[in-house]
Structure 1
């Protein structure tokens, strides 16, 4: 049970969806930010941007956001005809160093992990390593902003004590909706 009455059945509106129904005027800009960062045209594939969100959410131990964005990353990999999205996400979450993702993605995820600790944990060496792997300024910018935004989203979800389904398969319908419709409310 959420810490406040969200006015919805939490099982039907888990995680961030309940608070967003409760305050649509704040949901609108939060959803717009997620849409731009995670789905808008970008040199980073949507699956990798969702992977950043899932990775940071996992570091923050936000079960709902980690589970949902892991599912969203898997769905985006599938939409891009990458067959092993589930394995990719699981391996990144378990051990970034041995995960089967490009070196640039690993470098960006290291930056995202640093942002999760503190913005000041992002060092010139982390930025140089990402640049050496081909990261552009916009990719660096968006990685930092995705990581920072997900620290906020994670704290929003957990700070209100919202319901989060345990089973991974419960996130699949949400993932399909995000792939098809985006982050609208």
Structure 2
């Protein structure tokens, strides 16, 4: 049950919170849009996977379920690949660079101070650029915030897995900015 009075017509989860207070929701949606959808050397699917991974570590059901669908919809292997990564990133069939970036994201989830020179060197040795390392840290940090924002206010979290498919389609088709307006 939400800890604040969210109108029933508002979207569930974080988008509903963005709609509740658009003056804070707009810049947060813009941050998500920039980090996850703008042109980048990392694919949208890979950046969404980082968001999914951090949300799983944070046990944030809404964010995990939504970004799992968004990421899976963008991989040829679909959600099956995302699930393999969530179960065991080290053995998942993803590039070594992405495995190293996920290790950095996991460290950020624990504490920014947990990101070590060794983790960064390993990522660089696997081919990660400084921008990719920067954005991985920022995606992980931002999703710690988004997860705590959503869960800390007790935002409505649908039980039906199909609800997340619909939210993923909305994001894939219109981006994160439309989460503020709902259309």
Q: Give the TM-score normalised by the residue count of structure 1.
A: 0.93
1:6 aligns with 2:6: yes
Q: Are the counterparts in 2 of residues 6 and 21 from structure 1 also a CA contact under 8 Å?
A: no
149, 171, 178: which is aligned to 2:171? 178
CA distance in 1 between partners of 2:146 and 2:56 (Å): 12
Rounded Cα–Cα distance in structure 2 between residues aligned with 1:183 and 1:75? 16
Which residue number in structure 2 is paired with residue 31 of structure 1? 29
Tell me the equivalent position of 2:121. 128
Alpha-carbon distance in 2 for matches of 1:60, 1:132: 28
* Within-5 A mapping of 1:56-135: 56-77=54-75, 82=76, 84-135=77-128
Displaced runs of 4 or more, over 6 A = none
Aligned partners of 1:8 and 1:18 also within 8 Å:
no
Q: If the length of structure 2 is used for normalisation, what is the TM-score?
A: 0.94
Q: Is the 8 A contact 1:104 1:133 kept in 2?
A: yes
Deviation (angstroms), 1:38: 0.0
Counterpart CA distance in 1 for 2:55 and 2:126 is 24
The answer to whether the Cα contact below 8 Å between 1:62 and 1:154 also exists between their aligned partners in 2 is yes
Look up the match of 2:148.
155
Find the aligned partners of 1:167 and 1:124 in 2 and give their Cα distance.
42
My pick for the range that moved more, 85-94 or 159-168, is: 159-168
Q: Which runs of 5+ in 2 are unaligned?
A: none
Q: Deviations over 1:98-141 (max 9, x none)?
A: 11111000000000000000000000000011001100010000
1:166: Cα distance to partner? 2.4
Number of residues of Structure 1 aligned to a counterpart in Structure 2: 178
Distance 2:165 2:7 in 1: 24
Unpaired segments ≥5 residues, structure 1: none
